Chain A
Amino acid sequence: MINPPVAPTLEGGLNLNTGQVLVNEPVGDPVMRLKDVTVAFGGRKAVRGVSFDVHEGEITALIGPSGSGKTTLLRALNRMHDTVRSASVTGQVMLGETDCYAHSTDPTLLRSRVGMVFQRPNPFPTMSIYENAVAGLKFNGVRKKALLDEAAESALVGAALWDSVKDRLKAHASTLSGGEQQRLCIARALAVEPEVLLMDEPTSALDPIATKRIEELVGELKHRVTIIIVTHNMQQAMRVSDRCAFLLMGEDKAGELIEFGPTAKLFSEPTDERTLDYVNGRFG
């Protein structure tokens, strides 16, 4: 994707404590904006008051120690908490012009615009590779074979899987290795051509080689879809992301956003002391 020739906006490197703008750099328009997002389960907050913008064509990483609410926040972005009775999400999540949590917004339709890849590869075991790839399209009502084939091929190519599966599209998804299955899941999510792809620790269940391949893949994918990735692996965040949001569990056991900014800057010269401690590995 070509970055549109827009005047640079002052949206990088914002220290949320002091309000100080630290860095000027050209950015794409924000494709997703979070404003004061809070997720609570039965009255107990898991994530509190998170605000940041996700820019188009970038990879934004949510980092922080376990329990800091990264996954909870991620799942709020495609309304996965809708099925949990006790969950309540307040604040605002904007996808372009759409208010994700407005009454008029249909969650099913939203999820065709915001896709998700999970921690453990979860291809549908009763479906073939091809059927997995087009599953999302079929759920959304696409029936034309030409469109299905075109989208599936494009997605499998995008997931760097096409060459190894193109001759065995009818084989069961379970015949693939773990890394390949995860790439199939990525292809499955890509086939619907979402605007944003949410990835919840997509490599934590994979071996190092498969992990590396997926990291490379993610780097290539950002030209096609905006990516928000949760990772507990700092090195991965450094390797892969353009921007990072560092979350930490506060005293009330709710995760809050400590710092948000370009990755390079966050890791080399973080503004908050807690960020500094985390990236230096002083706590995990």
Chain B
Amino acid sequence: MTMAVQTPRGGARRGGRLALSNGVYRGLLAAVVAVFVAVVIWFLVSLIVQARPAFSTLGFSWIIQKTWDPNSNKFGLLPFILGTIETTAIAMVLAVPIGLGTALSLAYLVPHRLRPPLSTAVELLAAVPSVVYGLWGLIVLAPLFREHVEPFLTSVLGWTGLFNGPDQGVGLLLAGVILFVMVLPTMVAISRDVLAVVPNEQVEGAMALGATRWQVLRKVVVPGARTGLLGGFTLATGRALGETVAVALVIGNSPYIAHSIKSPAATLPSLIVNNFGEATGTELSALFGAGLVLLVIGVAVNAVARMLVRSTSRAAAAASVAVA
């Protein structure tokens, strides 16, 4: 909506109360927006500036080296980059089918009367703070994983070579599962929204041709929503990549590249949050560098997601209030 109507200009006071002229008004708004822009730029610049010493001391390749040992001045970020990617991958491998199936159920299968309350419940869960998920994961799930889930999975899937090593509970697998639980509400909310607005006339068109219920969903509904689904997926991935405290609590914080899905590991956010307090000098600068790498990844993924999810939809609004 643009206010395209011509309005009188002039700075005179009206009726005794201070009334800004249109010029001053627009100027004020522009100034405030400039503050926002300045803050964003300040953000990027300060991160780059603080990370610079690490780059000048260590060159550029340190980011992808695999040893992190502050005592010997090694600050390779590879284990953490891999950890970030791996935990996110586990989360999304689970979230895509389960999220899509749940969203389809909420949009098309659940009885009409139950749809609003269930959908609202799912959206509310997106607002639960991540630290609560972390606490729950550590105290409730970790023992469960250690005693039951991991032994079971190892016996069934051990042949893949992914499940070597002892069952510890904390580690990549648990972190991935916690991330899955955390991004699920966001993914389901967005997916449900875009699936539900596929025009009914297409659903009817498919039905009238003799399609079974699943054929309608698979061949018409899901493809019809695919841009939004992709956007929701990307948004959820972005959230998983940037998640800090829940992961830090359950991943075991081991600065080595994980060799098994059960190994303790670490991610870029968990690295930063665990070492920031005591780090100084080059190590601190390296942490800033890690933050920069994380920012680049997060912004890239988020930018793609935002281009896919149209900004004015309810789904996008729901996405922006999901706590990271």
Contact = CB atoms under 8 A, between A and B. Distances in A.
Q: Is the contact region of chain B dominated by helix, strand, or loop, or is it mixed?
A: helix
Contacts of B208: 78, 80, 111, 115-116, 118, 189
A214 interface: no
B102 to A, nearest CB: 21
B12 to A, nearest CB: 54
Given A118-B205, A124-B205, A111 B112 contact: no
A135 interface: yes
Contact of A115 (B209, B212, B219): B209
Contact of B207 (A111, A140, A188): A111
Contacts of B205: 118, 122-124, 185, 188
Contacts of A110: 210
Interface in A114-130: 115-116, 118, 120, 122-127
A112 B199 contact: no
B210 A109 contact: yes
Contacts of A124: 202, 205-206, 219-220, 223-224
Interface residues of B, number: 20
Nearest to A198: B208
Given A118-B205, A140-B210, A135 B219 contact: yes
Contacts of B197: none
B211 A118 contact: no
Interface string B200-232: 011011111111100100011001101000000
Interface in A13-68: none
Most buried by A among B199, B202, B226: B202
Contacts of A192: 209-210
Contacts of B202: 122, 124-125
Nearest to A141: B210
A78 B204 CA distance: 11
A139 B209 contact: yes
Contacts of B206: 124, 135, 139
Contacts of A120: 201
A83 interface: yes
B223 A135 contact: no
Contacts of B199: 122
A80 B112 contact: no
B211 A139 contact: yes
A123 B202 CA distance: 7
B152 to A, nearest CB: 39
Contacts of A145: none
A126 B209 contact: no
Contact of A135 (B112, B204, B209, B226): B209
Interface string B170-210: 00000000000000000000000000000101101111111
A85 interface: yes
A108 interface: yes
B224 A126 contact: yes
A82 to B, nearest CB: 9
A136 interface: yes
Interface string A64-86: 00000000000000101001010
A111 B210 contact: yes
Nearest to B198: A125
Interface in B93-126: 111-112
A64 to B, nearest CB: 22
Contacts of A139: 206, 209-212, 215, 219
The 9 closest A-B pairs by CB, nearest first: A136-B209, A112-B210, A116-B208, A139-B211, A111-B210, A126-B223, A122-B201, A122-B205, A140-B210
Contacts of A138: 219
A251 B220 CA distance: 41
Contacts of B223: 124, 126-127
A208 to B, nearest CB: 23
Interface string A87-126: 0000000000000000000001111100110101011111
A125 B207 contact: no
Given A126-B226, A135-B219, A108 B201 contact: no
A140 B211 CA distance: 7
A127 B219 CA distance: 9
Nearest to B111: A85
Interface string A176-203: 0000000001001100100000000000
A125 B223 CA distance: 9
Interface in A232-274: none
A160 B251 CA distance: 64
Contacts of B224: 124-126
A125 B111 CA distance: 28
Nearest to B201: A122
Given A122-B199, A125-B224, A108 B212 contact: yes
A245 to B, nearest CB: 21
A236 B215 CA distance: 35
B39 to A, nearest CB: 41
Most buried by B among A109, A110, A125, A127: A125
Given A118-B204, A122-B199, A139-B215, A111 B220 contact: no
Given A85-B111, A110-B210, A125-B202, 8 more contacts: A85-B112, A109-B210, A112-B209, A118-B201, A124-B202, A125-B224, A126-B226, A127-B223
Contacts of B219: 124, 135, 138-139
Given A126-B226, A139-B215, A139-B219, A189 B209 contact: yes
